[in-house]
Structure 1
Amino acid sequence: MALALLSACGSDNDRSEAAPPVVAPQPPVSAAPPAVAFMTDVHFENVYGDFKSAQFAGIPMKDGRNATIRTMYAQLTSTRLFNENYFAFRAALDDAHAKGIRHVALPGDFSDDAQPINIDGIVDILKEYQAKGMRFFLAPGNHDPNEPYDDMEAGKNDFLTREGKEQKVYATGNAACKAKDTTVVCTDQLMEQGYEKLVAKLSDFGFMPNRADVLWETPFSKYTSGKYSYDEAVAQGALDKRQFEICAEGSGGSYKAAGETKLGRSYTKCTAMFDSSYLVEPVKGLWLLAIDGNVFVPNGNFDPANPKNIKGFDGAGNAGWNKVVTHKQHLMEWIKQVAARAKAENKQLMAFSHYPTMDFYANQTGAMKAVFKPGAFQTARVPDAATTAAVAATGLPMHVGGHMHFNGTNDVVDANGNFFVNVQSPSLAVYGAAYKIVSYKDRDTIDVQTVALKDVARFSELFPLYQAEYDYLQGSSASADLGKRWDRAILDTRSYGEFTHYYFGELSRLRFMDEYWPCEMKEAAMNLDGRQMLILSQLQTKVTLAQLKDAPGIVPLTASCAAAGTVATGGVPASQLQADWLEATARAEALAAKAGLKLDDFARITPYIFYGDFHRTVYAGELALRDMGTDRVAQYKVLMAAFPANPAAVARAGDKLSDQNPVGVPFQNQFKQVFGILKGLGSAKPSEHFTIDLKGKKVSNANSAALSFN
């Protein structure tokens, strides 16, 4: 049976055997197809769900419901919210509906981890808005599914109790549940569903055809005589007919022989895998291409005798389009065919998947790798240049991606003149929460608008429950609890925009600064205000880091991150730092005055504001500058231009900074790069409201009031 299935998968990989619907070229559509809202990375958690457990039902509310929520600490140390995004999702749907939008695409991670409690909850909401005339089109993400097959051992450690404590809730297959651990709540509402259960539950939302569709197909569709048929579409939409062969080394099926020849050895660990991609024409002239960008590569634990064991596959999170190109060649060929047909038939094509197709750091990835810790900012997820070229070569005009929770835009023109734009739609569950509205103005012009979610009804509904958590942590002397204390001021925020802004400051403080920033850079970023940074950029001194202990109260830095270096001859006394600092201050005052600013006002950029701004700009791009305002943007522009053109090299003692570096050298060398990255992120392609000119091959800002670091 397994061999037969793999054989079938192999033949289905060959698109030359498939007969896509043949439609004669049509004139441009006279009535413009509707706009489409793209809501990525909703990460829906059912905050009023049902654990179906007698052990723990959540926190009782006055209206009789139970709140099944995660702790505030869990949120403040995660790159996504778990609870308030429930209300943000409803707000986004209400806003889109009020704007007359009836087609909504969700490019993956629409749930947090595809648990029944969350999938059933989002299905209820989608059906509610479906009844109002909206249609939804989903593409899978690395959280839905987390694994290709069911995970019966999954769970979470940090649901909130009424006492403000953490509660572990696991699926019944978890080892703790099998051991009858009384501290753990066991329920299969927390198991994580694979493709089969997900597609069955979500079939109404694009994964299967609708009678109202003009066209619906998959990479494996073969319609009789090339003519679309709803009944055939239903039959061919069954998941067992949407499989391909994947191997550890690359694409299987009809692509295997060529791959093995190139590799010089046989492929291994080959198995059947699902591909839930589809193309739908919900109204005449509009093509939505939902791409399943998940690639679950068989790993060393793969057992052909037990091919559904999830431990036999690598997760899809870091694979993205890099692995789509190498391990889903059938999909790349189909995308190319769809793009060509869309152009020939004058269709308005909008492609979307969960994953970015090109550099999502405004081409700053190389600089970020050079200055921050290895692996910082998840740069492993940035697609290779060759991957971007391969996607551009398919002829797709534009693609909407998610995954990174970023707001951004990038484009490329390949060697053959193919112009391709990647639009990163931000998550609803982070700072910069927003959704995109995409529409064709004419055959060659696409308009993209970003709708920020600043005001969300009921966003503070759960705040009283967090107060119990705060009180518990403040009263606990347990070492594990001391490290989980958070700033209660977040409960005083007055809007969702203010709440997510504060959340990102805390996320930066509690996680990013340790995880991403090297020791000496973290110390500088967490202790220097904007005034001190501008002065340090001008500091010329021979006083070393090792001497700072003998010159207290001048600059809030130490040699604690440095290793002892060899003391050079010709040094100066530590007391010289005072005079050198005064000279640097005078130069900094002149730089500020030249820009029409005052040096003392730079002190308003506190360390907390600075590193929060940096991370907010990484995620929200242009939207972050709008929140900074013109004054702070102007101050940052002065700092960006203040550093020496060629800073002195940093001396090392082994793998650490040497304490014999002059005080200003490490800062000037490293933070010149940091501010260069910040400038690049804040001066990227337009990302709030812009147009894509497919004929002129350019992206243009449609917002004359947009701020930039240029």
Structure 2
Amino acid sequence: MFSKKNVSRRSFMGGMAKVGTVAASTSILTACNSSSSSEEKTSIAGVKVAMLADVHFHDVFGHYEFSKFNSEVTIRSMQDSCESTRMFNENYFAFIEALEELGQQGIKYICLLGDFSDDGQVDTLKGFNRVVEPYIEKYGFEFFLTNGNHDPVRPYGAHQTKNFLHHTGASIAVTSDEDRNFTPNNVLIGQHITKGMWATGYQEMFDALGQYGFQNKPSYVSYETPWGSDKFEDRGLMISKEDGGNTFWCPDATYLAEPVEGLWIVSVDMNIYLPNDDGTSWSHASIGWEEGKKYKPQVMDWLANVTARAEAEGKTLIVFSHYPATEYLNSSANDFYYVFNDGSYNNTRVPSSDTAEQVINAGVKMQFGGHIHVNDTAVHQGENGTLINIQAPSLAAYTPSYKVVTCHSPTLFEIETKTLQDVRDFDALFPYYQLEKEHREWVGADVQWETMLEATDYRDFMFRHLDVLMHMRLKNGWGGDITALFEAATPLYWLMMLSCYEGTLDNQQTLALIEAMTIEANNSDILTIFAEWGLEDKAIDALAMVDGHCSTFLMNRDQMMAVSFKQLCLATLYQRNGDELALQDLNYQLLVPIRVAMEMFKHNDADGDLENIDWDTDYINQNPASGGSVQKDQIDLLLLRTRFASFARIYHQLGKAKPADHFFVDLTTGYVEDLAGNKQF
């Protein structure tokens, strides 16, 4: 990781600075400061609201009746964290650091965009209250929560089991299920049963956290729900499965709170729980608005009523939920799925255009979401208006950040992304992980996360986590070709040669080249292999094309050889999560060669249009889901070229996406202006 420079995608990924930025920003500033506009006379002008997503709070000093194990802390293992898309323990300290920062900035209103807890366990919610209450007293914070798929995990609660570290470095299964079967092994040496591990349902969540927006308070100017009441028994609806199976009453936590005259904070519960045929359990797809538009029409109708009243009354409206309401990967979701086979980023979880249209029809112009652990800004231009969806990244994953919204008027907002870097005590638990490491080595268990303990700060810690996660979990689902290139660490220079080779290569030839195309191999070594197949002339032409292409971009062979496919994969995942924030953690010796390679990879797109995706030609087997099903004996040059084209489309979209660091939003026009490095406000 390199120095944290303030790098804008507009100036690097897009290749040039945006013309007219200063003029546009000046006009916006004039509009914000104008005293002639009635909008600017609202009492909330200048009010700031913080957006924290996916805190995944776990109380590392919780009770869980765990003291009998002579443990000073109740923490999850590093092994579990490094196999998860989020850290389990250090986010405790990150959350506290974020609260301190917000207090120092004078920010009073804090929205938590779901998954504020580990899994809504009884002792976790107690710990949450214990942590935030002193900050409420110290800084006068007002919290507004929405629930995610981790809180609650089921509408009426559920048993939970987690592995906690034992003081020996081994692990203990901590569960709320007295009937759970358990068999110990060398790493997981025992089981502990406690009611504190029970994952609460809606009613228990309201009882424990009702003061954070879920229920009315005397201090609110106004408060309402779609159900005409804030009582648990009134807030919900009947939900049935499509097949006509069981129908159940399911709670809903949607609300509108007005903490100060003129500011309406709207928390939308888009969790959909469908009853299973057994009549006692529930399924939860965790896709939010995509199902919510169908199963919660009452909420959508109420939302339309709220937005209409807000506009008529001149209220400043802040709408948030746990889930995105638009496509959140710059129209690259299918390509990410095709290359990396990650179900978290596929077309089943990405909201459809119809969903965005229905949210627009409900009058929503700007929506904040979490759930995906990515930093992103997306604008959907619909038939009836524009929807701006702003994704706040997780505090428990790379890049650990939160958003600060400054309300300049009911239609003018400034959004800043604050990344946590220097978090006090982020390494306080490292001695326990060292014991875990020693125990795993003693019993012969795998350890791949030693570099995590070398982190210099919290941002670096999360930077390392994504790297380790890729090696320990993510790559296990990749297709045979991506895996082969990753394990061989094939340099970009050779990948570019394959991308422009004007011929066909069968499975055995392709595998032989992947094995031979190492960083140590010279051009003669590779040409000799082609000569044995009678294909030397086309190989010479391909090398000439690569060298000419590099020369055009003032690059040379050594620079392209210095970046491997493994580095390309990791850099792409960093940018998927952090968007332009990731550019502050990636050096130019890596980014520039990647951009040069992408310029050559784009010629592998079937129709030459990087904006267009044609499943019949752009994807082998005509479906991005086939990416992970490709076996090693199916690898050939045609398949590799479809992968190269996907990478090119991903980087093409990164280069033209909306700003996601510091930007300005005008809801009257749907205009999003990049303010990175601009300190005018």
**Bucket of the pairwise TM-score, normalised by the shorter protein:** 0.7 to 0.9
Aligned partner of 1:596 in structure 2 is 554
User: Is the contact made by 2:225 and 2:255 (CA closer than 8 Å) also made in structure 1?
Assistant: yes
User: Is the contact made by 2:604 and 2:645 (CA closer than 8 Å) also made in structure 1?
Assistant: no
State how 1:506-545 maps to structure 2 within 5 Å. 506-515=468-477, 517-527=478-488, 528-540=490-502, 544-545=506-507
User: Is the contact made by 1:526 and 1:611 (CA closer than 8 Å) also made in structure 2?
Assistant: no
Aligned partner of 2:254 in structure 1 is 277
Identity across aligned pairs (percent)?
29
TM-score (norm 1): 0.80
Q: 1:97 to 1:467 in 2, by over 3 A?
A: same
Say if 2:372 is the partner of 1:404.
Answer: yes
Say if 2:98 is the partner of 1:92.
Answer: yes
User: Is the contact made by 2:404 and 2:417 (CA closer than 8 Å) also made in structure 1?
Assistant: yes
State how 1:99-248 maps to structure 2 within 5 Å. 99-132=105-138, 133-151=140-158, 153-156=159-162, 158-176=163-181, 183-221=190-228, 236-248=229-241
2:213 is aligned with what amino acid?
G
TM-score (norm 2): 0.83
State how 1:56-95 maps to structure 2 within 5 Å. 56=69, 59=71, 66-95=72-101
User: Is the contact made by 1:38 and 1:105 (CA closer than 8 Å) also made in structure 2?
Assistant: yes
Q: Which moved more, 1:618-627 or 1:602-611?
A: 602-611
Deviations along 1:123-151, one digit per CA (max 9) or x if unpaired, are 11121111021111111111000000122
Find the partner of 1:627 among 574, 580, 585.
585
Q: 1:83 to 1:682 in 2, by over 3 A?
A: farther
Aligned partner of 1:491 in structure 2 is 453
State how 1:687-702 maps to structure 2 within 5 Å. 687-702=660-675
Residue aligned with 1:245, SS? strand
User: Is the contact made by 1:139 and 1:290 (CA closer than 8 Å) also made in structure 2?
Assistant: yes
Whole-angstrom CA distance in 2 between matches of 1:247 and 1:451: 42
Whole-angstrom CA distance in 1 between matches of 2:501 and 2:354: 43
Deviations along 1:413-436, one digit per CA (max 9) or x if unpaired, are 3212x2211110000000111000
Say if 2:399 is the partner of 1:432.
Answer: yes
State how 1:49-60 maps to structure 2 within 5 Å. 49-53=62-66, 55-56=68-69, 59=71
Aligned partner of 2:317 in structure 1 is 349
1:636 is aligned with what amino acid?
I
User: Is the contact made by 2:93 and 2:425 (CA closer than 8 Å) also made in structure 1?
Assistant: yes
State how 1:7-18 maps to structure 2 within 5 Å. none
Residue aligned with 1:619, SS? helix
Aligned partner of 1:256 in structure 2 is none
Say if 2:641 is the partner of 1:671.
Answer: no
Residue aligned with 1:450, SS? strand
Whole-angstrom CA distance in 2 between matches of 1:358 and 1:518: 28
Residue aligned with 1:200, SS? helix
Deviations along 1:353-374, one digit per CA (max 9) or x if unpaired, are 1011111111122334555548
User: Is the contact made by 1:551 and 1:574 (CA closer than 8 Å) also made in structure 2?
Assistant: no
Shift, 1:270, TM fit? 2.1
User: Is the contact made by 2:317 and 2:410 (CA closer than 8 Å) also made in structure 1?
Assistant: no
1:237 is aligned with what amino acid?
D
2:151 is aligned with what amino acid?
D
Q: Which moved more, 1:627-636 or 1:505-514?
A: 627-636
User: Is the contact made by 2:510 and 2:635 (CA closer than 8 Å) also made in structure 1?
Assistant: no
1:315 is aligned with what amino acid?
H
Aligned partner of 1:314 in structure 2 is 283
Whole-angstrom CA distance in 1 between matches of 2:63 and 2:111: 27
2:144 is aligned with what amino acid?
F
Shift, 1:579, TM fit? 7.1
User: Is the contact made by 1:524 and 1:667 (CA closer than 8 Å) also made in structure 2?
Assistant: no
User: Is the contact made by 2:481 and 2:632 (CA closer than 8 Å) also made in structure 1?
Assistant: no
Shift, 1:31, TM fit? 5.2
Shift, 1:508, TM fit? 0.9
Aligned residues: 611
Deviations along 1:89-112, one digit per CA (max 9) or x if unpaired, are 111111111111011000110001
1:637 is aligned with what amino acid?
R
Deviations along 1:548-591, one digit per CA (max 9) or x if unpaired, are 6777963259xxxxxxxxxxxxx976365777656534432322
Deviations along 1:473-518, one digit per CA (max 9) or x if unpaired, are 22323xxx23xx2141221110111111111011111111122x21
Whole-angstrom CA distance in 2 between matches of 1:118 and 1:451: 26
Q: 1:374 to 1:105 in 2, by over 3 A?
A: closer
Whole-angstrom CA distance in 1 between matches of 2:172 and 2:655: 41
Q: 1:602 to 1:374 in 2, by over 3 A?
A: closer
Shift, 1:665, TM fit? 3.7
1:50 is aligned with what amino acid?
H
Q: 1:629 to 1:347 in 2, by over 3 A?
A: farther
State how 1:249-260 maps to structure 2 within 5 Å. 249=242
Deviations along 1:379-431, one digit per CA (max 9) or x if unpaired, are 42111221111111111121100011111011223212x22111100000001
Shift, 1:456, TM fit? 1.1
- Which is higher, the Rg of structure 1 or of structure 2? 1
Whole-angstrom CA distance in 2 between matches of 1:660 and 1:606: 22
Whole-angstrom CA distance in 1 between matches of 2:181 and 2:620: 51
Deviations along 1:16-71, one digit per CA (max 9) or x if unpaired, are xxxxxxxxx999515515110000100001111112146535x3xxxxxx111111
State how 1:573-612 maps to structure 2 within 5 Å. 574=532, 583-612=541-570
Q: 1:28 to 1:538 in 2, by over 3 A?
A: same
User: Is the contact made by 1:433 and 1:453 (CA closer than 8 Å) also made in structure 2?
Assistant: yes
Q: 1:35 to 1:357 in 2, by over 3 A?
A: same
User: Is the contact made by 1:114 and 1:144 (CA closer than 8 Å) also made in structure 2?
Assistant: yes
Whole-angstrom CA distance in 2 between matches of 1:579 and 1:465: 60
Deviations along 1:162-221, one digit per CA (max 9) or x if unpaired, are 222222111143423899x99311111111110111110001111112222111111122
Aligned partner of 2:28 in structure 1 is none
Whole-angstrom CA distance in 2 between matches of 1:27 and 1:495: 41
2:52 is aligned with what amino acid?
M
2:199 is aligned with what amino acid?
E
Whole-angstrom CA distance in 2 between matches of 1:578 and 1:84: 55
Q: 1:419 to 1:173 in 2, by over 3 A?
A: same
Shift, 1:598, TM fit? 2.6
Whole-angstrom CA distance in 2 between matches of 1:545 and 1:573: 17
Q: What residue ranges of structure 2 are gaps of 5+ in the alignment?
A: 1-37, 520-528, 607-616
Say if 2:277 is the partner of 1:300.
Answer: yes
Whole-angstrom CA distance in 2 between matches of 1:375 and 1:594: 38
User: Is the contact made by 2:171 and 2:189 (CA closer than 8 Å) also made in structure 1?
Assistant: no
Aligned partner of 1:7 in structure 2 is none
Whole-angstrom CA distance in 1 between matches of 2:255 and 2:164: 36
Aligned partner of 1:40 in structure 2 is 53
Q: 1:520 to 1:529 in 2, by over 3 A?
A: same
Residue aligned with 1:643, SS? helix
Q: 1:438 to 1:462 in 2, by over 3 A?
A: same
Shift, 1:632, TM fit? 3.0
Residue aligned with 2:672, SS? strand
Q: What residue ranges of structure 1 are gaps of 5+ in the alignment?
A: 1-24, 60-65, 222-235, 250-264, 303-308, 558-570
Whole-angstrom CA distance in 2 between matches of 1:680 and 1:658: 29
